[in-house]
Chain A
Amino acid sequence: MKLNLLIFIYIFIFFSKFTFAAENTVDPNQIHKNLRCLVCQGQSISDSNSDFAQTIKLVVKDLIDEGKTEEEIYSFMSDKYGDWIVFKPQFNIQNSLLWILPYIVLIFGGFFIFSFLKKRQ
């Protein structure tokens, strides 16, 4: 019973994230924070006042005005500058391990701890 409840809560949290995300409007600051300043040392577009960052901010504003979604803007930037410009990597074949591995570790780790505790009891 408890296990079913846990699975239900997990699925609810997992899918509600996508539902609420879909309702949000495009926030330029959020996009700036997730874009890397290519001419700076470890700074995002949001943190930087460089010429490059200023230009990217203008382009992001234009793309939002054109009605592009956050994902479309990241895709546009990746297309021009490569995946390196986006701090949060997109889900694709090359990055699949990066996205899936934490869930695999979580499941196996949970299973391992559960079986370990059960054995001790």
Chain B
Amino acid sequence: MQKIIKLIILFIFLFVIGIFYVSLTRDTNYNTSSLINKETPEFKIISFDESNIYTRNDIKKNTFTLINFWASWCAPCKIEHPILMKLSQTKNLVILGINFKDKEIQAKSFLNELGNPYDLLAKDENGKQSVRFGVYGIPESILINKNLMIIKKFVGPLSFEDYNNILKIIE
């Protein structure tokens, strides 16, 4: 009987240690793994000039689409802007910019000052549409293929490494 008690205590001890080890070494930062290789969600997003509504059908015809969430008040968006400008010159890629919780005048001024890399421009005034894409902060970018599958999601500003990765994928 005492042997069984000792074994149970040892098992509980090892179990608690195991739980602590797994919990402390686990990466609890939000990652995008749950979205990769999933189909692009249904969305209805109003164009920046309010003349049109963009849906999945608008990106279906593109070989690749990069959806970029940005705002004029977002400092890292300025950092990634030159990369978006470079990407706008590449073939096979349509960039859909979604202006996130921004003021129209300031957004326009941002694009006038730094250039407009977007083939399609939309706005998400209250951020509700962005939740469909798992966005929790900006800038974030999502690369989608013509089958509407999410290939890659970039959290934070696009880097030159990301730029090269995108080029490899789309060429």
Contact = CB atoms under 8 A, between A and B. Distances in A.
A38 B137 CA distance: 10
- Among B41, B126, B131, chain A packs the most CB atoms within 10 A around the CB of B131
A69 interface: no
A79 B34 contact: yes
Contact of B127 (A51, A78, A112): A51
A38 B34 contact: no
Contacts, number: 43
Contacts of A112: 8
Interface residues of A, number: 18
A51 B101 contact: yes
Interface SS, A side: helix
B133 A81 contact: no
Interface stretch (B25-33, B77-85, B112-120): B25-33
A84 B134 CA distance: 13
A101 B127 CA distance: 40
B42 to A, nearest CB: 12
15 contacts: A38-B136, A39-B136, A52-B137, A55-B127, A55-B128, A56-B131, A58-B127, A58-B128, A59-B131, A80-B35, A80-B131, A80-B132, A80-B133, A82-B31, A84-B28
Interface of A: 38-39, 51-52, 55-56, 58-59, 62, 78-84, 112, 119
Closest 9 CB pairs of A and B: A55-B127, A80-B134, A82-B34, A59-B131, A38-B136, A38-B30, A52-B136, A59-B128, A81-B134
